[in-house]
Structure 1
Amino acid sequence: MQTIAIQATDTLFFRDGRPFSMGEDSFAQGIFPPPPSVLFGVLRSVYLAKGLEDDSGLEILITDSLNLKFRFMAMQAGTDVFFPLPKDLVVVKDRDRLKLHPLLLSDAPQFSNTQTPKLLTANFEDKIDDDVFLTDLLSLERYLSGKVVNVVPRKLTDFTCPETKIGIGRDKNRNTAEDGKLFRLQATRPANKNLQHLQFLISFEGLQLPEDALFTMGAERRVAFYRKGEGLNLECPNLKSEIFKIYLATPAIFKQGWRPETLLDTYGLELLTAALDRPIHIGGWDMDEKRPKPMLQCVPAGSVYYVKAKDAAAANWAAQAIHGKSISDNLNQTDYQAQGFGIAYVAKYIE
């Protein structure tokens, strides 16, 4: 398995799922961090470019590049590795510091439209901070072992700087500006004010890439590079109960929307409840068909599913099979598991 750290040299802009056309819309909203499919495409492109330099056949290279499989994804700043904060941990502002509150697993009301037998409830009245939060590797390891009180939240904006850019559409034939096509976009510089760069840490198999490479990425084709990174391994906890949690380190795609029915059926699990946020929309461009890919709603990274097995032994068997693997469904003849959607880790549930 090979591990690399991708770092941008400029701002990055990744389109979200909302439509945008110059002249009708004036503001393009981006998404950060990018979905796994973007970085998956970047590595395939690097492999193709290297192969063409070595005079390999394009068709053979394209076929070989389909063997690429993402096994691990995180973000790195300096020597610290970060993951999305689990969504069953709520951050509130307590004066000038951030305070973390775990949500509590409770029985659903007798008369309710909830689709699960349990609910996650709050025992506080503070105002929730709705920023995007990360947590470091040590904190995530504590969370997976059931020690939620020791998790430290960090704002994504501590590692990035937003930059608004102005652009205008050009006539491709005359290479001149077109009237009525002025637009604005929100780009992200993956570095903080102290110039500490935020990198994408990826472990993969199926392809052998050069130890370092220079390339472009994002909608504006900004220059980025990667170099060798250090691989990580998160241990699966030993479960003492039939109830456990499944944490998503990357966005996931399921046939039934937010419910991982295939996973539940495969391992004989009952879904008790889930900590989710608004879905994110993932599209893209199909290079073979030369048309947009079907738009899909994804469960956001950081989401947590509470599940129940028949007993503790069945829970441990399922946990070992799920931990560190992709639990996404493959749709539209696309291998979303290989692209790194739905990389999951098992967390211990402690009452």
Structure 2
Amino acid sequence: MLIRIKAIDTVFFRDGKPFNMGSENVADGIFPPLPSAIYGALRSAYFGQRPELLHDLIKDGSLNSVEDPSANLKINGIVLVIKNTLCIPAPLDLVFEKEKSINLRKKEKRNKSYQAVCLKPTTNDSMKSSVPTEYILSYNKMIQSIADGFISDMNLSNYINEDCEQLKVSLLSDYVSSEARIGIARDYDTRSAKESMLYLINMNRTNDVSLLVDFEGIDIPEKGILKLGGEGKATVYKKTSDKFYLEQPEIDGDYFKICLITPAVFENGWLPDFIDKINLTGYIGNTKVKVLSAATGKPLAVGGYDQNLNQPKPMKRAVPAGSVYYMKIEEGTKEEVIKCFHNRSIMENKLGKEGFGLSYIAKWGGDFEELKE
């Protein structure tokens, strides 16, 4: 089932920063929400139509077990819709040329899209990275990273096919604004304000932005209301006939890229679970691949609340959406690579079912940047 979710008021999705009395009284919001927030909202919509079933599952301690029909839910895709244009997070190997970035924003403000360039791996010995790969991603001019970039489906097609000359990036901050809200906790017995419990949260207000979600495994009404994010903010959803098509690239030779649409949680930090952290190689089915380089960005804290155990979930560190892995096939076929990772999750666990680690394959011809002295 494919639905579009749109906020009718401000929304709030917590980042992983602590928000406890006496340590931190400001909570920052993130957007788009983590896949787990959408997963939970869809399950709530399912049980909203079946309250007796939810009551029985909780009573029997069977929530999230094989007896729980909502455990069959699987999210196959999450993308943004900005002004009716489908968008995904900009790959993190896309950057702005620094000397042009300020003037470029002023010139193209009306269009709200900005020219980006693509990094390439290099073996320059003078450059250092915290990612111990064989090559460093670089560019022969001064660059500036793109903090909240998104690309349209048309630009995505260009990127997937390595046509990077005319790549345009949109900034989410042009469409999602922050609104500070001040509050104070109340004592439920006296109905009065508690001392030392003043807090501030930064809500998000979306403008011409909605979420397109593709899922299977449960049935919900074709339209309705979802409680999504902090404070149970209401959003509206509706079944749609929109399609998000990820063009399948024609991989030339043995080189390719894996790009993340949603954050991914790996046991070895930035490295996918199927890759050995010593020699940076691993198997996809019968195909052996090696990580040559990567652009993984700042780790993202992923938590949540376990309703079944009535306690917070353990905090985990995730590789952010947009992360890119430059790969080489050492043994096997490119067909198996595309089958395993194009338009599906790179994670084969419960978090993968929730929509974490959704990925696609992009073409890369194995070319390397030649830095000018």
TM normalised by structure 1 equals: 0.90
Which shifted more, 101-110 or 41-50? 101-110
**Alpha-carbon distance in 1 for matches of 2:339, 2:298:** 29
Give the corresponding residue for 1:166. Answer: 182
Q: Distance in 1 between matches of 2:55 and 2:22?
A: 41
Distance 1:70 1:117, change over 3 A: same
Deviations 1:13-61 (CA, angstroms, capped at 9, x unpaired): 11111111234422111221111000000000000111228x7864288
Name which of 122, 128, 148 aligns with 2:139: 122
SS of the counterpart of 1:139? Answer: helix
* Structure 2 counterpart SS, 1:149: coil
SS at match of 1:232: coil
CA distance in 2, matches of 1:49, 1:336: 23
Q: Distance in 2 between matches of 1:169 and 1:57?
A: 30
Separation in 1 of the partners of 2:224 and 2:259?
Answer: 32
Structure 2 counterpart of 1:251: 263
In 2: Cα distance, 1:275 partner to 1:155 partner: 19
Query: What's the CA shift for 1:111?
Result: 9.8
Find out whether 1:222 has 2:236 as its counterpart: no
Q: Within the alignment, does 1:106 sit opposite 2:126 as a pair?
A: no
SS in 2 for 1:337: helix
Q: Conserved in 2, the CA contact under 8 Å of 1:75 and 1:199?
A: yes
Q: State the 1:130 CA deviation.
A: 4.5
Aligned length: 338
Aligned to 2:109: none
Deviates more, 1:35-44 or 1:285-294: 285-294
Q: Determine the C-alpha separation between the residues in 2 that align with 1:174 and 1:259.
A: 51
Taking structure 1 as reference, are residues 81 and 112 closer, same or farther at Cα in structure 2, changes over 3 Å only?
Answer: closer
Percent sequence identity over aligned pairs: 33
- 8 Å CA contact 1:308, 1:315 repeated in 2: no
What is residue 72 of structure 1 aligned with on the other side? 77
CA contact (8 A) 2:42 2:226 kept: no
Q: Does 1:145 align with 2:164?
A: no
2: CA distance, partners of 1:156 / 1:216: 23
SS in 1 for 2:184: strand
Q: Is the 8 A contact 2:178 2:204 kept in 1?
A: yes
Which residue of the partner structure matches residue 179 of structure 1? Answer: 195
**Residue 5 of structure 1: SS of its match in structure 2?**
strand
Moved more, 295-304 or 55-64: 55-64
Q: 2:221 aligns with which of 194, 200, 210?
A: 210
Listed one character per residue, the Cα deviations across residues 186-230 of structure 1 (whole Å, up to 9, x for unaligned) are: 110011xxxx2x111110111121101113221121111100122
2:322 aligns to what? 302
Q: 1:226–1:61: structure 2 CA closer, same or farther, 3 Å change rule?
A: farther
1:255 to partner: Cα distance: 1.1
SS in 1 for 2:336: helix
2:29 pairs with 1:30: yes
Unaligned runs of 5+ in 1: none
Q: Residue 71 of structure 1 aligns to a residue in which SS?
A: strand
CA contact (8 A) 1:13 1:187 kept: yes
* CA–CA distance in structure 2, aligned partners of residues 21 and 99 of structure 1: 41
* CA distance in 1: counterparts of 2:197 and 2:54, whole angstroms: 41
Counterpart residue number, 2:360: 345
Alignment of 1:255-334 (within 5 A): 255-262=267-274, 265-267=282-284, 268-310=288-330, 314-328=333-347, 330=349
Tell me which of 184, 189, 212 is aligned to 1:201: 212
Match of 1:220, SS state, is helix
Shift of 1:273: 0.7
Distance 2:145 2:94 in 1: 11
**Does the CA contact (< 8 Å) of 2:293 and 2:327 recur in 1?**
yes
Following superposition, the deviation at residue 100 of structure 1 comes to 1.3
Report the RMSD for the aligned CA atoms in angstroms.
Answer: 2.1
**SS across alignment from 2:141:** coil
SS at match of 1:37: helix
Comparing 42-51 with 259-268, which one deviates more in the overlay? 259-268
The secondary structure found in structure 1 opposite 2:181 is strand
Does structure 1 conserve the Cα–Cα contact (< 8 Å) formed by 2:117 and 2:167?
no
CA distance in 1, matches of 2:297, 2:56: 41
- State the 1:297 CA deviation: 0.4
Using the alignment, how far apart are the partners of 1:89 and 1:169 within structure 2?
43
Verify the 8 A CA contact 2:263 2:320 in the aligned structure 1: yes
Residue 180 (structure 1) shift: 1.6
SS of structure 2 residue aligned to 1:13: coil
